[in-house]
Structure 1
Amino acid sequence: MTTPAPSEARIGFFAGMGAYLIWGVLPFYLRLLKGVPAADVLAHRIIWSVVVVVGLIAWLKGWDKVAAALRQPRLLLLLLASALCITVNWLAYTWAVLAGHVIDTSLGYFINPLVSVLFGVVLLGERLQRLQWAAVALAALGVAVLAIERGALPLVSLSLALSFGLYGLIRKQAAVDAATGLFIETLMLAPVALLWIAGTPQGFSGWPTPTLVTLALGGVATAVPLMLFGIAARRLPLSTLGLMQYVAPTMVLLEAVLIFGEVLDPARLAAFCCIWAGLAVYTWSLRPVAKAAATR
């Protein structure tokens, strides 16, 4: 692995930080849409994402890449699968924020890295060190604490972690750039989204103008951070990007407790402590890999 040039690394760092900061403040945007059903928000988010990405691809002159991708059946199947996963993720996240379960979304994205590790073992045949198995076990213990205390699994957190973990896994197999991939994903989802909006009482223009503008901004809130993340992923070591991904759920947790007034009860706190411990152990286990990559 070649160490990125300082200018490239700097671009990657600011792009990655920009993506995670936008994701970190996303609950503020969604709470502006209280009173709008989560499914309606999702449908508008899909439609306006198509509009934003079309503009971006036109600006980048990337239609040749889109045309090439549309001629690959296997790639289209992968993008259909990733589109379904990200739909579940967006819907669960939107519903949770609008219903006042912001802490649960934060927990889900703290669990996500360790879920991705587990997918690597189960689906890709990757091998873990003992410390990494301990990290996965600590995350599982955190989920178990919540399940025992509540008498049910933390479905919001698990749905977010699993859907985004699967999304990342599928996109890892899809040889396509971020803009082209997002365009095709949202284009596949657009007909269903259009039919959904057309079947609602408000339709396409029944909401008050401020609400319509806010719904339209969902395209920007979706496309921009994903594009920034794509820039960062090409310029930063995986270990650096891995550490940066904790920025967004940390921000969301602080917002939920300090601003939105949600309660971090003892069971949730215990679950967070287990998962944070697991993340710390896993990060520590990556030190030899990061050092080896830095010396190449």
Structure 2
Amino acid sequence: MTQAFRGILAMVGACTIWGLSPLYYKLLAHVPPPEVLSHRTLWSVILFAGVLAVQGRLSEIGTAFRGRRQVGVIALAAAMISVNWFVFILSVQIGRTTEASLGYYIFPLMTVFVGWLWFGERLGIAQWGAVALALAAVLVLTVGLGVTPWISLILATSFAVYGALKKGLALGPVVSVTCEILIYLPFWLVLLAWYHGNGQGHFGTGWQTSLLLVLSGPLTAVPLILFSYAARRVRLSTVGVLQYINPTLQFFCAVLAFGEPFTLWHQIAFALIWSAVAIFSFAALSQDRAARRASIAALGVSAQIRNSPSEGSAKP
């Protein structure tokens, strides 16, 4: 089995876990989202710290918190991912998983827009077309349902900004995520203490709920580790296409498992989004193929130059 194929399997595994996670969080619908997020943070920190301890890399956490600018970036990234996690858990509990899946469909397109706005990256006609279709989908839902799909927009924007902030962190993926969830851990611990101090805490009230809360840590950590493994072994264009497994499975969970309404307006909006995804994916794959052809051509020219006789060694 090649490294690339292993990377693809890891990516599929990560996206499948993320895509089916609404089924898991639906089982915790009786627990308030802030309490769920507090436990998710606590058990994730414990698990990631254990992974780093086994690898002998715990000291890297202290190193990561050196420098005011880096700490500030970590704090902002942590805020973005916390907002993303909270809104996603809330969407599942209040029956708005369809909007959540739409948000994760929009996320890659939002990333392209943030790259243009933040880093001055150039966008092609196909990419601008995909962004325009995503905007049209949001407008369709806003006009048709009479309300802006805030859940979709918050999820897409927070994750896109999170990705942009991560570009400025020279940290490994496990260390980076550990620092991000560690920096606000005191707040979540205080919140848990408040819940239990007021007799509202759910941990310890039943083994099923307690186990589900504990397992929210591995549910967070495992797909991130798989994603990091895949990102180092698979081309980014392939990663970009495979990640749509996540919102597709979320969409099926919402409509088929939870029976959430899928109106005509939803159908039009999702048709626009799926068209945008197809254009975006095709453009990404085309750019990747063109880059590889250019690289191969450059290597061929370089080899010809090295193998050709120099002027000094040419015979008269």
Name the TM tier (shorter chain): over 0.9
2:11 corresponds in structure 1 to: 16
The question of whether the paired residues in 2 share the 8 Å contact of 1:120 and 1:126 is answered with yes
Amino acid corresponding to residue 211 of structure 1 in structure 2? T
> 2:117 matched to which residue of 1?
122
In 2, the alpha carbon distance for the partners of 1:274 and 1:205 equals: 43
TM-score, length basis structure 2: 0.88
| Number of corresponding residues | 291
Q: In the alignment, what sits opposite 1:223?
A: 221
Distance in 2, Cα, partners of 1:118 & 1:68: 32
Partner secondary structure for residue 66 of structure 1: helix
Tell me if 1:56 matches 2:51.
Answer: yes
Distance change in 2, residues 1:261/1:290 (3 Å): same
Once the 2 structures are TM-superposed, how far is the Cα of residue 85 of structure 1 from its aligned partner? 0.2
2:38 aligned to which of 16, 30, 43: 43
Report the CA distance shift for 1:117/1:146 in structure 2 as closer, same or farther (over 3 A). same
What is the TM-score of this pair, normalised by structure 1?
Answer: 0.94
2:268 alignment partner in structure 1:
270
Deviation at 1:206, TM superposition (A): 4.7
Within the alignment, does 1:195 sit opposite 2:190 as a pair? Answer: yes
For residues 212 and 99 of structure 1, what CA distance do their matches in structure 2 show?
Answer: 21
Report if aligned partners of 1:106, 1:250 keep a CA contact under 8 Å in 2: yes
Q: Helix, strand or coil for the counterpart of 2:167?
A: helix
Match status 1:32 vs 2:30? no
Is 1:247 equivalent to 2:245 in the alignment?
yes
Shift of 1:176: 0.8
Partner of 1:3: none
* Contact 2:31/2:202 (<8 A) preserved: no
Residue pair 1:121, 1:127 contacting (<8 A) in 2 also: yes
Alignment partner of 1:100: what SS?
coil
In 1, the alpha carbon distance for the partners of 2:202 and 2:142 equals 41
Alpha-carbon distance between aligned partners in 1 of 2:291 and 2:11, rounded to the nearest angstrom: 20
Aligned to 2:132: 137
| Residue of structure 2 equivalent to 1:173 | 168
Structure 1 residues 72 and 25: CA distance shift in structure 2, 3 A: same
Name which of structure 1's ranges 87-96 and 61-70 shifts more when overlaid on structure 2: 61-70
SS of the residue 2:165 aligns to? helix
Deviation sequence 1:58-106 (CA, Å, 0-9, x none):
1222223223212233222111111000010000000010111111111
Does the 8 Å contact 1:41/1:215 carry over to 2? yes
**2:212 & 2:5 partners in 1: Cα distance?**
32
C-alpha distance in 2 between matches for 1:207 and 1:168: 37
Return 254-263 or 130-139, whichever deviates more: 254-263
Aligned-partner Cα distance in 1 for 2:203–2:172: 33
For residue 290 of structure 1, what is the amino acid of its counterpart? D
Identity, in percent, stands at 38
The alignment yields a C-alpha RMSD, in angstroms, of 1.4
Matching of residues 79-90 of structure 1 within 5 Å: 79-90=74-85
Q: Distance in 2 between matches of 1:96 and 1:132?
A: 29
Question: Once the 2 structures are TM-superposed, how far is the Cα of residue 293 of structure 1 from its aligned partner?
Answer: 3.5
Report the Cα offset of residue 13 of structure 1: 1.1
- Structure 2 counterpart of 1:159, one-letter code: I
Paired residue type of 1:269: Q
1:235 partner SS = coil
Between the aligned partners of 1:286 and 1:23, the Cα distance in structure 2 is: 23
- What is the alpha-carbon distance in structure 1 between the residues aligned to residue 256 and residue 133 of structure 2? 27
In structure 2, relative to structure 1, the CA distance for the partners of 1:205 and 1:153 (3 Å cut) is closer
Give the distance between the partners of 2:185 and 2:91, measured in 1 at CA. Answer: 23
Matched, 1:285 2:260: no
What stretches of structure 1 of length at least 5 have no aligned partner?
A: 1-5
Distance in 2 (alpha carbons) for counterparts of 1:256 and 1:204: 26
The structure with more radius of gyration: 2
Q: Which amino acid aligns with 1:158?
A: L
Gap runs ≥5 in structure 2: 296-316
Match of 2:106 in 1: 111
Divergent runs of 4+, >6 A: none
